Amino acid sequence: MTFDYKVADLGLAEFGRKEIRLAEHEMPGLMAMREQYGDSKPLSGARIMGSLHMTIQTAVLIETLVALGAQVRWVSCNIFSTQDHAAAAVVVGPDGSADAPAGVPVFAWKGETLEEYWWCTEQALKWPGEEGPNMILDDGGDATMLVHKGTEFEKAGAVPDPSTADSEEYAVVLSLLTRTLREEPQLWTTIGQGIKGVTEETTTGVHRLYEMHKAGALLFPAINVNDSVTKSKFDNKYGCRHSLIDGINRATDVLIGGKVAVVCGYGDVGKGCSESLRGQGARVIVTEIDPICALQAAMDGYQVSTMDDVVGIGDIFVTTTGNKDVITADHMAAMKHQAIVGNIGHFDNEIDMAGLYKTAGVERVNIKPQVDEFRFPDGHTIIVLSEGRLLNLGNATGHPSFVMSNSFTNQVLAQIELFVKTAEYPTDVYVLPKHLDEMVARLHLDALGVKLTELSKEQAAYLGVPVEGPYKSEHYRY
Ligand code: NAI
């Protein structure tokens, strides 16, 4: 295969390699996958296109997939989330050098334009001189969406019209599809037909998959990795508990203690974010639309209110909803001077950035990369992190290795399931069986010195569960 790639600077590879080495120790689940499957190589023949934040942790995932036999091409799933030293180290590979890279083709750098972002996704989906990818590993569903949209236009013989797009980003996607339809008319149909399945990392991507399946449009089976308990109840919660304040601190270094922090959404991500802000001494106010989550927030001791009611008292605002227009341009106009506004949900439309840019008289002052001050005509300003894109990856380095080891061990198991047992997965959206979820947790206990109590045969019979698990019914909620 031609070794094409595009990253910021291969000279950063040595630094990346050192951090990968440290991360491997903190990722016992992934290292156990290498141990268990390194010889049998169940992913031999797999050509995996990955679209997931190109971080140090993702580098360990990529090299695990390679150790299990896969060929891989990779992009980031966000324009700001790439760690350039991680991308360089993956391209160079453990045995290559900057002059003779011998790793995995990566198309990602921190600070892509939207055009560059979608160009990268296209490059990773095309396998020069090969049949094309046969697996997708997605985060947020952009790669999956591109294959589906492209196929849809090719089937309909329709030419996309970028001027009809409802966002700047979708206009870029439509322009890309217009070009590929002209240059390679059956590109996306061919790629789509070659895909055995996709494993999806996050809540928003999973939501898109269920919608497509409901509409009868899903082209291949999918495993919803997000809803493994060892993913969403750990990465979304404890990961964000760590990386939210890391992002706020690196961006602003403002003292969080004593401030009023408004967290929009009290799902898994919102729970972790609220806890971390409270841990720093902030007074946290939650907004919710779901009465169950609102009640949980209240019982956890948070004030629950609406954006309209608290917009004038918040010092820090964080959206965690996966929804759109949660903070509007009018909200931002009504905020205190130098209020901090950030999003940790997957897409940037939680905060109406488009509306803010269009607001008459608003002036943008760039403070440093991924930190902007917006000045309103009355003189007050707000500080927006990562242009409304997920701030924990834009302003900091995302979740730490140990929690990502849980998420990514689920990813590896899901890739093996779909690739090896393709016939057992007709097109639908699946979650991994519970015994694998429990196995992922088990693989992370020793590192934390956890001593697990073993059920006796009598106790197991009394509860009606096998001694070796699974221990909970499918409807148990953790
Ligand atoms: P979730 O579904 O558990 O929580 C979202 C919550 O937001 C729900 O409780 C929902 O009722 C609430 N909500 C929806 N609209 C709202 C509104 N207008 N106002 C207030 N609350 C509203 O989803 P989860 O797992 O917490 O994920 C949230 C987002 O974060 C998703 O986009 C997901 O993909 C993303 N995510 C980001 C991560 C990161 O590292 N930045 C990590 C994991 C997930």
Q: What's CA 101's distance to the chain center, in Å?
A: 27
Protein residue with least CA distance to atom 9, ligand 1: 267
pLDDT in tens, the chain (478 residues): 568 999 999 999 999 999 999 999 999 999 999 999 999 999 999 999 999 999 999 999 999 999 999 999 999 999 999 999 999 999 999 999 999 999 999 999 999 999 999 999 999 999 988 789 999 999 999 999 999 999 999 999 988 999 999 999 999 999 999 999 999 999 999 999 999 999 999 999 999 999 999 999 999 999 999 999 999 999 999 999 999 999 999 999 999 999 999 999 999 999 999 999 999 999 999 999 999 999 999 999 999 999 999 999 999 999 999 999 999 999 999 999 999 999 999 999 999 999 999 999 999 999 999 999 999 999 999 999 999 999 999 999 999 999 999 999 999 999 999 999 999 999 999 999 999 999 999 999 999 999 999 999 999 999 999 999 999 999 999 9
Please check whether the two domains, 10-230+398-436 and 240-395, share a CATH topology: yes
| Residue 355, helix vs strand vs coil | helix
Residue 170 tokens read as: 């979708």
Is the peptide bond between 128 and the residue preceding it cis, with omega within 30 degrees of 0?
no
**Given 201, 227, 372, 387, which residue is catalytic?**
201
Give the integer Cα–Cα distance in Å for 408 and 16: 19
232 CB under 6 A from ligand 1?
Answer: yes
pTM for the whole structure: 0.98
pLDDT digits (tens, 9 = 90+) for 137-173: 999 999 999 999 999 999 999 889 999 999 999 999 9
% of the chain residues with pLDDT over 70: 99
236 CB under 6 A from ligand 1?
Answer: yes
Is 53 known to be catalytic? yes
**Overall fold of domain 240-395:** Rossmann fold (3.40.50)
Q: Which residue has the tokens 């002059």?
A: 99
Radius of gyration of the chain (CA): 22
Q: Say which CATH architecture domain 10-230+398-436 belongs to.
A: 3-Layer(aba) Sandwich (3.40)
407 CB under 6 A from ligand 1?
Answer: no
% of the chain residues with pLDDT over 90: 98
Please report, for the chain, the start and end positions of each structural domain, with discontinuous segments joined by +: 10-230+398-436, 240-395
Q: How many CB atoms lie within 10 A of CB 404?
A: 28
